[in-house]
Amino acid sequence: MTASLLFRQSSSFLLKQSTTKKTTTMKFTAAPLALLALATPITTSAWSTAAVRSVRAVPATILHGYTTATTGESATESFRLSFAEGDDTISPWHDIPLKGNADGTYNAVIEIPKMTKAKMEVATKEPNNPIAQDMKKGKLLLRDDDPIDVVEIGSKAIAMGSVTEVKPLGVIAMIDDGELDWKVIAIATDDELAKEYNDIDDVPDAVKDGIREWFRWYKTPDDKPLNGFGFDEKWLDAKNANEVIEETHDAWKKLRSGEIEAGKLWTGKN
């Protein structure tokens, strides 16, 4: 059974979880999300009819090659980045394996590249779940929700739609509108720091504090309250992060099997 983690890239994180195609071999690589740059909404024409298609090559991380194609105009509601394997359109949420090649690693999909502002996310309610820019009340938004978020803290900026093998280092329990919203911190296995970072205590305090404070404050520009955190606001270790990922994966399997009601979510089964 498959299912990848969806990531945004900024100075930190991991995530979860069609249709014109152009080809590009790719790998899920996650770099740090530009978390500190994602907090402010931008106003742009949301109804542009212009279409732009591009092809870009990204090294493959798994045994197969994935390709991406873009349609629509960047920074508008029309933009979509779709995924394919060979001639078949696939879902980055449902069709890419969760586990990486090495023990204790996972495949991640980059939604928000490092140092970018637009709130890009896998469109969980659209067929094949392309990446799109989120909107609210006619305005394009700058961040995201839904599947489990991972902040990848490596040294490289990784392109949107890349698939990368990552190693979880820790997790924090954010409380968003009274609901638990786990945030995982991870590093790409091919990053130069991956040999040094193996658990949460290996991550500099400045990095951990910066990620936590970004998540605390990022909704305030929309006049929303500060987010809180469980476990006395502490980062839990890699063992806990892996347990959270596996629990989330179990929930995904129940969603796909129908044990959990999908509602408007596109699961490939409905």
Mean pLDDT score, 96-107: 93
Report yes or no on 81 lying in a domain.
yes
Report yes or no on 75 lying in a domain.
yes
Q: Which residue has the higher pLDDT, 5 or 78?
A: 78
Confidence of residue 3 (pLDDT cuts 50, 70, 90): low
Note down the domain range covering 131: 5-257
Report yes or no on 263 lying in a domain.
no
Report yes or no on 264 lying in a domain.
no
Report yes or no on 267 lying in a domain.
no
Q: pLDDT tens, 176-217?
A: 888 899 999 999 999 999 999 999 999 999 999 999 999 999
Q: pLDDT tens, 233-252?
A: 999 999 999 999 999 999 99
Report yes or no on 265 lying in a domain.
no
Report yes or no on 270 lying in a domain.
no
Report yes or no on 96 lying in a domain.
yes
Q: Which residue has the higher pLDDT, 120 or 241?
A: 241
Q: How many domains does the chain have?
A: 1
- For residue 21, the domain's CATH number is 3.90.80.10
pTM value is: 0.73
Q: What is the 3-state secondary structure (H, E, C) of the chain?
A: CCCCEEEEEECCCECCCCCCCCCCCECCCCCCECHHHCCCCECCCCCCCCCCCCCCCCCCCCCCCEEEEEECCCCCCCCEEEEEECCEEECCCCCCCCECCCCCCEEEEECCCCCCCCCEEECCCCCCCCEEECEECCEECCCCCCCCEEEECCCCCCCCCCEEEEEEEEEEEEEECCEEEEEEEEEECCCCCCCCCCCHHHCCHHHHHHHHHHHHHCCHHHCCCCCEECHHHCCECHHHHHHHHHHHHHHHHHHHHCCCCCCCCCCCCC
Mean pLDDT score, 30-37: 28
